[in-house]
Amino acid sequence: MYTGFVAPADDVVDDAVARALGAAGERGPRGGWRRVEHGSANLVVLAGRVAVRVARSADAASEALRAQRLIDALPALPFAVPRSAAPAIDDRAAGGVVAIAQERVDGEPHPSGSGDPVELRRLLDTLRETDLAPLRRHLAHRHTFFGGEEGLRLMTGEAVTMLAPTARERARRAAEAFVGLAPQGDVLTHGDLAGSNVLWTGGAASTVSGLIDWDLAAADDEAKDVAALATWHGWDLVAQIVPPEVTHRARVTAATYPLQLLCFAIAGCRPAEEIERALTRANDAYTG
């Protein structure tokens, strides 16, 4: 798992984390902290009962604060979410960072390639049945991850032309199919419903115990979350719990994942090495 994303200086992060933990009443020594680096927008420090998210950039900071307002506005759900453990530390005016202390959510990611279809359908139903009205002002644009409406233009334009000639036609078809999907539904979608964002407990009879990282949550088509679940748990499993038309839209969505990652890097003005890495992955995905 890649961890080399741009990040604030360690001393800046440590200072903000210490103050966030103190505000949340968590007094454990720094030697007990565990730093998680694999998030592209935020890094996370785990300490006792608290998780502190530290934004990697100014744009990520604004989005993290918005997402936290969404989390705190969510109704009671059948699984835990990382609600605020203390007011956020916001040092942007002094050139510093944003650090958000959250209640730590218990559980572990489910192994890839398997899962309980009943539990996955329950997860989707919980999101679908959540009332959007009190949440709308806190939701992201449905294409926030890769740049919103500008990201769609990038996907069908500059991103495709950056690819190797052998990859362009396949990528162009994937992008055009995605952009051409008819709008469907208007339900709460998490936006990244897979891997370490969905936490489970219970061993063989495991159930979803928590859902973290709500930065991409939007009013959108359920197929977006189905695509993420399918890439982690398996398409055959997910096909058992959604209609064929939803599976189709999910496959069209998932086919653009390499392009979405490239557009994310371009739209977010990421360092050149991150853009080059995304370009290499997209070339590999669409060649052949």
**The domain spanning residue 226 has which CATH number?**
3.90.1200.10
Neighbours of 232 (CB within 10 A): 23
Q: What's the chain's length in residues?
A: 288
Only one residue has tokens 């052949």, namely 288
**Residue 162 confidence (pLDDT) above 70:** yes
Share of the chain above pLDDT 90, in %: 82
235 lies in the same domain as 116: yes
Indicate the pLDDT class of residue 166, thresholds 50, 70 and 90. very high
For the CA atoms of 2, 237, 286, 42, the dihedral, rounded to the nearest 10 degrees, stands at: -30
Is the same domain home to 74 and 138?
A: no
Which residue has 């859902």 as its token pair? 211
Question: How far are the Cα atoms of 84, 99, 212, 229 from residue 193, in angstroms, in the given order?
Answer: 21, 23, 9, 6
2 belongs to a structural domain: no
Indicate yes or no: pTM above 0.85: yes
CATH code where residue 25 lies: 3.30.200.20
Instruction: Determine the Cα–Cα distance for residues 100 and 66; give it in Å rounded to an integer.
Output: 11
Backbone angles phi, psi at 212, to 5 degrees: -120, 175
Mean pLDDT of the chain: 93
My answer on whether 53 and 144 are in the same domain is: no
Question: Residue 3: pLDDT above 60?
Answer: no
CB atoms within 10 A of CB 41: 21
Query: 225 by DSSP, 3-state: which?
Result: helix
On whether both 127 and 268 belong to a single domain, the answer is: yes
Q: How many Cβ atoms from other residues are within 10 Å of residue 22's Cβ?
A: 13
- What is the per-residue pLDDT across 10-51, written as a single tens digit (0 to 9) for each? 899 999 999 999 999 998 888 899 998 877 788 999 999 999
pLDDT over 70 percentage in the chain: 98
pLDDT band at 2 (very low <50, low <70, confident <90, very high): low
Shared domain for 100 and 162, answered yes or no, is no
Strand partners, 34: 46
- What is the average per-residue pLDDT within 119-142? 96
Do 157 and 30 belong together in one domain?
no
**For residue 5, is it within any domain?**
no
- 129 in the same domain as 260: yes
Domain ranges, residue 22: 10-105
Looking at residue 204, what is its pLDDT? 60
CB atoms within 10 A of CB 3: 12
Q: How far apart are CA 137 and CA 283, in angstroms?
A: 37
For the stretch 37-89, pLDDT in tens is 877 788 999 999 999 999 988 888 999 999 999 999 999 999 999 999 999 99
